[in-house]
A = this chain, B = another copy of it.
């Protein structure tokens, strides 16, 4: 699906076809072409025939690319940026790529229709026709800014998951912690893989490497860049914390093993001597007689057993085991 927003003479229209006059070097119109899940034909017609973009960038736009990047061609900049994929299920962190072709007076966006940031801009363009008059770079900034803002709730959700796992690891609960850590690590790794190159792409816009970007727009991109720097920074801090959770978990498992073994050792070292004692008095040989009558023999033995158990317990208590 193709939507064409064209601004000329202070007026914005939404049309369906691109007038090639608009692309003339002297043209004063501002053009935003939004391709949603374009067919091969649409790509050929718009990107190749009309805009005459370089085949390599067109090919990248037609396929799904995992890696944000920026490429300067002679007449335009080609950017791949990643936005949060809110339709991903199972609470996993996932992103979708959006492609941008940024020219002197036009912005072409190619995506799969899931981008909330572009949806919002489309709405905005309908309501505030003057938005297009700021030029294609400002349009790009609006989309990118909103895409980066959308990372924030996802990051916070990740942080909550980490907080909760830290609690669980400290308390020793959390059966499934190994699986959760592996899941979290994969999510963090996806986050880093997207955020770090994205930060570098926006950094290049902010550093005015490209003549298309004016000083004013560079200030704005520096703001987005700062957000991405913080995201990248947080993703690394999270990584550290996840490692800490695993350490805490393993340390707890070891501690619990010690607890278990103490119980076993205490029980065994108390009852084994008693077993030997009772075994001795069960032997079919004449036994030494404790002082007193026959009836008191049992109580002598019982007393010795109690004494042995008490001595053992005292020893273990002095060791701090119980």
Instruction: Report A's interface with B, CB cutoff 8 A.
Output: 54, 56, 59-60, 65-67, 69, 71, 73, 166, 169-170, 177-179, 181-182, 185-186, 189, 193, 219-220, 222-223, 226, 229-230, 233, 237, 240-241, 244-258, 260-265, 267-269, 271-288, 294-295, 297-298, 301-302, 305, 321
Give the residue name and chain of the B residue nearest to A196 (CB).
Answer: B233
Contact B56 A223 (CB under 8 A): yes
Tell me which of B166, B237, B277, B297 contacts A193 (CB under 8 A): B237
Give the residue name and chain of the B residue nearest to A73 (CB).
Answer: B219
Contacts of A65 on B, CB cut-off 8 Å?
226
Shortest distance in angstroms between A69's beta carbon and chain B's nearest beta carbon?
A: 6
Contacts of A59 on B, CB cut-off 8 Å?
223
**A-B pairs with lowest CB-CB distance, top 8:** A278-B279, A271-B272, A281-B283, A264-B265, A267-B269, A285-B297, A282-B282, A274-B276
Contact B284 A295 (CB under 8 A): no
Give the residue name and chain of the B residue nearest to A263 (CB).
Answer: B265
Query: Roughly how many angstroms separate A56 CA and B221 CA in the complex, as a whole number?
Result: 10
Contact B251 A254 (CB under 8 A): no
Other contacts beyond A264-B265, A288-B298: 16, CB < 8 A:
A65-B226, A170-B178, A178-B251, A182-B245, A257-B257, A257-B261, A260-B321, A261-B261, A264-B268, A267-B272, A271-B272, A272-B272, A274-B279, A275-B276, A285-B297, A286-B294
Query: Could you list some 23 contacts between A and B, CB below 8 A?
Result: A60-B223, A69-B226, A169-B178, A178-B248, A181-B247, A181-B248, A182-B244, A189-B241, A250-B251, A253-B258, A257-B257, A263-B265, A264-B269, A274-B276, A275-B276, A280-B302, A282-B282, A282-B284, A284-B284, A285-B294, A286-B295, A286-B297, A288-B298
Which one of A56, A59, A251, A276 has the highest number of Cβ atoms from chain B below 10 Å of its Cβ? A276
A230 and B66 contact, Cβ closer than 8 Å, known pairs A251-B246, A258-B260: yes
Shortest distance in angstroms between A188's beta carbon and chain B's nearest beta carbon?
A: 9
